[in-house]
Amino acid sequence: MTDVVITSAGNTEIKAIRALATKKGRSQRNAFLSEGLRHVVEAARAGWRIKRLVLAEGHAASPLLDEVRQACLGEGGRVLTVTDELMTRVARRDNAQSVIAVIEQRWAALDQVKAEQRALWLALEEVRDPGNLGSILRTADAFAVKGVILIGNTVDPFSVEAVRASMGAIVNVPLTPVERDAFLTWRLGWTGRMIATHLDGTAGPEGLRGAAPTILVMGNEQSGISDTMAAACDTLVRIPMRPGADSLNLAAATAIMVHALWPGGGAGQ
């Protein structure tokens, strides 16, 4: 059967999908957008629920597309075919991908953060830039970080920009939002180590790799790590820079630190 092609931006389903461009729209619908067949396949295979699959008219047929179509329909979702022009409006950019999915959001609870041997967790205090957060998720996925704890008032990880910058990694990294006070209370029961990166740190990143369960804390782009958070950490680490250099970009500093701490790194994995 040939799919009916939706042509109108006034279509109710299309309006609901376009509303996912805003935080409010995403929260109300508990969903986010993922663009590109490869990323949608990865999400489906990782068990994320595909609520809607939007296909550009004339999209290429493929076994991978059949796979995500089945995943979507099998969980009660719907497949919509739209004109190229409408696809541009859904993606809000030219050269839109020919496959866009609406995926149900998923969050992990703080009690899933476990102090297991060789477990490396990342905590981001008030990260504000979606591009930074997406890049960090990509790094976290590459170096087998167990999950990312989002502390305080952070950017929405399911924003279109953050998801794009994560290059699909968002479906592989559990996300735990928590208020700072709640996190600090929970931290009292954390039996592993907690390492903060701080421009006033006295330790360097070398020699930190090990099997001890670890939470690595990174600070806000403007103000860094709060004093209360720094006081709650066992060690403050500074990445050496040339004299006079201000600081590193948050995502760059995270990549250096995660690689330095990655338990698998020393084994040449």
Stretch that binds ligand SAM, among 77-85, 107-115, 152-160, 234-242 (CB under 6 A): 234-242
The only residue of 99, 165, 216, 250 in contact with ligand SAM, by rule CB under 6 A: 250
Distance of CA 257 to the CA centre of its chain: 18
Stretch that binds ligand SAM, among 97-105, 170-178, 184-192, 238-246 (CB under 6 A): 238-246
Which C-beta is closer to ligand SAM: that of 108 or that of 199?
A: 199
Angle CA 241–219–230, to nearest 5: 95
Handedness of CA 261, 265, 267, 269 (dihedral sign): positive
Q: Rounded CA gap, 143 and 121, in Å?
A: 11
Cβ 224 to ligand SAM, closest distance in Å?
A: 2
SS3 content of the chain, % helix, strand, coil (to 5): 35, 20, 45
Which C-beta is closer to ligand SAM: that of 79 or that of 199?
A: 199
Cβ 152 to ligand SAM, closest distance in Å?
A: 13
Q: If binding is defined by CB under 6 A, does position 221 make contact with ligand SAM? A: yes
Cβ 220 to ligand SAM, closest distance in Å?
A: 6
The only residue of 98, 105, 235, 247 in contact with ligand SAM, by rule CB under 6 A: 247
- Using an 8 Å Cβ cutoff, are 224 and 131 in contact? no
DSSP state at residue 98: S
Q: If binding is defined by CB under 6 A, does position 60 make contact with ligand SAM? A: no
DSSP state at residue 80: E
- Using an 8 Å Cβ cutoff, are 211 and 118 in contact? yes
CB atoms within 10 A of CB 165: 21
Tell me the HSE value of 126 on the side-chain side, using a 13 A CA sphere: 13
Stretch that binds ligand SAM, among 36-44, 86-94, 174-182, 246-254 (CB under 6 A): 246-254
Handedness of CA 45, 49, 54, 58 (dihedral sign): positive
Tell me the HSE value of 54 on the side-chain side, using a 13 A CA sphere: 29
The only residue of 225, 229, 232, 255 in contact with ligand SAM, by rule CB under 6 A: 225
Token pair 């995660």 is found at: 258
Q: If binding is defined by CB under 6 A, does position 199 make contact with ligand SAM? A: yes
Enter the tokens of residue 85.
């022009």
The only residue of 71, 230, 253, 260 in contact with ligand SAM, by rule CB under 6 A: 253
The only residue of 197, 214, 233, 258 in contact with ligand SAM, by rule CB under 6 A: 197
Which C-beta is closer to ligand SAM: that of 34 or that of 226?
A: 226
Stretch that binds ligand SAM, among 1-9, 208-216, 235-243, 261-269 (CB under 6 A): 235-243
Report the interface residues with ligand SAM, using CB under 6 A. Answer: 197, 199, 218-219, 221, 224-225, 238-239, 241, 247-248, 250, 253
